Structure 1
């Protein structure tokens, strides 16, 4: 009898300890789960519901319309196709330019040159600069008769009115955004480059490989996981650029820089059509989700050779 009581007491103590461990674990993850439910899942469900409604933010009127917002988006909205084209053009111009410039800068800034820390600071400074201040400076630099055009005039080039001509306005916004954020990607590439053993490059150099050959056949393959990560982050980030476009061009001229995020803002807070803006927001969410899934598939198959 005594032995059975001792045994049952040990079992109950073990169960008590296991329950304590489980409760402790739940307590640690509870803030994360609560934050996800309140700040991610809850708003996502609300946006899905709003996208099936005709909601007027100004009057507060709400009418269930089913999939009417999506039908209007695909068939009757005169700006949706233009906005999608602008978004694709913005991403297609920003992503390769940003990645190529960041990789070149990372290769240069990891060289053992005296005073290299100063240059690293200079290239990273725009990342922490206020977007408002950055946009004001670049609006001045892209003025028709001053700024960049005054320097171009010195070498006999008649520069365009950057922010007033549709084609050049997109180029100007892409350039300003690239210079603003290229320092972050440069920092990521620098960290990855410093983790690559120098033995590979030294061995290739002994075998007669020049700098470009070493970069092409050694550095870039070893950087492929980092390149995929930076590619995904930059691509998704390009879909969410809003503040610089609003401050520099306000979506103009003639909707030339009106990308999807700005169009969502325009529909929600300028026209007060929050239901239709929610439908547009779901399109943006779906695009980011597809890009993320595609990146993981490509990363597993091409970088890590998984099936």
Structure 2
């Protein structure tokens, strides 16, 4: 009778210790102020949240985070879907290319971004390649016009493999009879893809959209290694701003309030996407 509870007990204990406990602690600390000199924690009510509303930087950080998410999510999903469609054609070398595109996923994010920080430097591999065709490339990570694009590109190349594999599995699960019947009726390839394939893989699109949006709101390591939030504050996203407030300026209460806002934002975006599934996700009967 209790075998099921015994089996899930380790997972539930881990969830309570490493997820639920820290969440409750962050919510509590968001109503406090930490004195770095004395170590004293004093309760200040909603002052941290009022300070957040009065902080002009918080608006800039929110806008930067939105720009990052709006650039990352469509780019990642569209590229992953394109790669999956190409790999689904059964061409020679499909297994090799699938391994190549997926391999960055298993690489440490810090190691991945360190390599790209060298490649995107002023005299890095990308600019050296451009010079061979007579183009003088910018300082990708130190110019405000290219820094955000560079961070988005590095993150897309890091995570596109997972979505590609999910899309490929979904594509291979689409009954070939449906596509063949549509082709016999005279439907063009694009019509078959838009009217049959996309609706059939829409649950996978929902999954990838939710996971990618959540990941875009929590990005930190890439910004820390590649740009440090710069140039200026051009790439200071919310997760990195929380890190700065907590461990650079030692405003732990304010950082906790920002973390609570981030948590609420993730919940809202996830709930909206889940609600929208009723409108554009096809469920096979």
Q: CA 1:252–1:59 in structure 2 vs 1: closer, same or farther (change >3 Å)?
A: farther
Among 99, 120, 123, the residue aligned to 1:142: 120
Matches within 5 A, 1:156-305: 156-303=134-281
1: CA distance between counterparts of 2:178 and 2:151? Answer: 40
Look up the match of 2:96.
118
Query: In the alignment, which residue of structure 2 is the partner of 1:46?
Result: 25
The alignment's C-alpha RMSD in Å is 1.7
Q: Considering only CA atoms, is the larger Rg found in Structure 1 or Structure 2?
A: 1
Match of 1:129 in 2: 107
Indicate the SS of the match to 2:137: coil
Instruction: Choose from 80, 97, 105 the match for 2:83.
Output: 105
Secondary structure at 2:56's aligned position in 1?
Answer: coil
- Which moved further from structure 2: 290-299 or 154-163? 154-163
Report the 3-state secondary structure (helix = DSSP H, G, I; strand = E; otherwise coil) of the residue aligned with 1:79.
helix
Contact 2:200 2:282 in 1 (8 A): no
CA distance in 2, matches of 1:55, 1:102: 44
Task: Tell me the equivalent position of 2:15.
Answer: 36
Alpha-carbon distance, 1:58 to partner? 6.1
Match of 2:50 in 1: 71
Match of 1:6 in 2: none
Structure 1 residues 288, 148: closer, same or farther in 2, change over 3 A?
same
Displacement, 1:271?
A: 1.2
Task: Count matched residues.
Answer: 283
Q: Distance in 1 between matches of 2:98 and 2:7?
A: 38
CA contact (8 A) 1:56 1:275 kept: no
Deviation per CA, 1:264-285, whole angstroms, max 9, x where unpaired?
1111111111111100000110
- Distance, in Å, in 2 between the alignment partners of 1:82 and 1:258 is 9
Indicate if the aligned counterparts of 1:57 and 1:268 stay in contact, CA closer than 8 A: no
Aligned counterpart in structure 2 of residue 60 of structure 1, from 17, 30, 39: 39
TM-score, normalising length: structure 1: 0.87
The equivalent of 1:7 in structure 2 is none
Q: Per the alignment, do residues 128 and 24 of structure 1 end up closer, same or farther by CA in structure 2, a change over 3 Å counting?
A: closer
Question: TM-score scaled to structure 2, two decimals?
Answer: 0.94
CA contact (8 A) 1:47 1:282 kept: yes
Unpaired runs of 5+ residues, structure 2, are none
Q: CA deviation at 1:150?
A: 2.5
CA–CA separation in structure 2 for the residues paired with 1:110 and 1:206: 20
Q: Does 1:27 align with 2:14?
A: no
**Displacement after TM superposition at 1:304 (Å):** 5.0
- Distance, in Å, in 2 between the alignment partners of 1:233 and 1:200 is 29
